[in-house]
Amino acid sequence: MRVISTKDIIAPIREAVIEANYELGEDVIRAFQSGLEQEESPVGKEILNRLIENARVAAEERIPMCQDTGIAVLFVELGQGVNIVGNDLNRALEEGVRQGYEEGFLRKSVCHPFTRKNTGDNTPVITHLALVPGEGLKIWVVPKGGGSENMSRLFMLPPSAGWAGIKERVVQTVEEAGPNPCPPTIVGVGIGGNFERSAILAKKSLLRPLGSPNPDPELAKMEQELLEEINKTGVGPQGLGGRVTSLGVHILMMPCHIASLPVAINIQCHASRHVKIEI
């Protein structure tokens, strides 16, 4: 059995929180560049150029790429052969996030739902923990902004709605969101499971690098179909019109109850931040 001390988890989380907010992934920058080739609107092109420039300045000057530095979402895969020693794991994860937001001068964006009093350190953290075989510990650090999260939706469709019903809801959700999730977006779609699982699938689908194919050829075809429909809406970069409303659609799917067809749509803004660490 492998032993991991919670002391050795805090620093990598801290660094990942900072890196995620300062450095946009190469996959997203490449998608901006290929978006430039597809975009016909001069304003849309200008926005894509500015997003590329914004990402460069943030990385070089070590500043956040967006004022909304997000609520910290962590996807954790913990090997069953790992013995965590020291503090409890959740406290270590929260301490890493706390230190990252403090030392990286990142805006604290978490508050009491009614009083709106800020918790002051960007905790609590939203953690999704999965036990997996092996002796590894993998953590994806995913700061998520409020604008795009607010435009995300979940539908419990009748099974008869099928693919046509799913497609209609996804395109409608993106169209109604308009400029609010700061397009160009990446659209995560979770199909199946149950109410809460579909939402987690939708968010988890966004961890796949942009531009990489879905390993399931049927889902890959559906993603392409959805992307084409979304980009016909004309929402465009920052909602100011154009062809490039979304840079990609990612689907994760699993079986569901015979009476249900859950569909969750998690919209990710252009500040698509995720950093993976392995301990």
Lookup: tokens for 191: 């199909």
Give the 3-state secondary structure of residue 220: helix
Looking at beta carbons only, is 24 or 222 nearer to ligand SF4?
24
Minimum CB distance to ligand SF4, residue 208 (Å): 19
Distance CA 63, CA 47 (A): 20
Min dist. Cβ of residue 184 to ligand SF4 (A)? 10
Residue closer to ligand SF4 by CB (options 15, 68) is: 68
- The stretch near ligand SF4 (CB under 6 A) out of 34-42, 226-234, 247-255, 264-272 is 264-272
Report residue 103 as tokens.
């030392």
Determine, following the binding rule CB under 6 A, whether residue 269 of this chain makes contact with ligand SF4: yes
| Cβ 129 vs Cβ 1: under 8 Å | no
Task: List b or e across 149-169, with b for residues whose CB sees 16 or more CB atoms inside 10 angstroms.
Answer: bebbbbbebeeeeeeebbbeb
Closest separation in Å from C-beta 242 to ligand SF4:
17
78 CB contacts (<8 Å, ≥6 apart)?
Answer: 84, 89, 129, 130, 131, 132, 137
Give min distance, CB of 115 to ligand SF4, in A.
Answer: 22
**CA-only gyration radius of the chain, Å:** 19
Q: Binding ligand SF4 by CB under 6 A: which of 9, 92, 235, 271?
A: 271
Residue from 39, 68, 95, 223 that binds ligand SF4 (CB under 6 A)?
A: 68
Pick out residues in 118-147 that bind ligand SF4 (CB under 6 A).
Answer: 145-147
Residues in region 146-175 near ligand SF4 by CB under 6 A:
146-148
Which residue is closest to ligand SF4 by CB? 145
Q: Which residues contact 152 (CB under 8 A, 6 or more apart)?
A: 173, 199, 202, 264, 265, 266, 267
7 secondary structure, DSSP code: H
For residue 145, the minimal CB distance to ligand SF4 (Å) is: 2
Applying CB under 6 A, does 66 fall inside the site for ligand SF4? yes
Taking the complex as a whole, the smallest distance from the CB of residue 183 to ligand SF4 amounts, in Å, to: 9
Q: Which residues bind to ligand SF4, rule: CB under 6 A?
A: 66, 68, 145-148, 181-182, 269-271
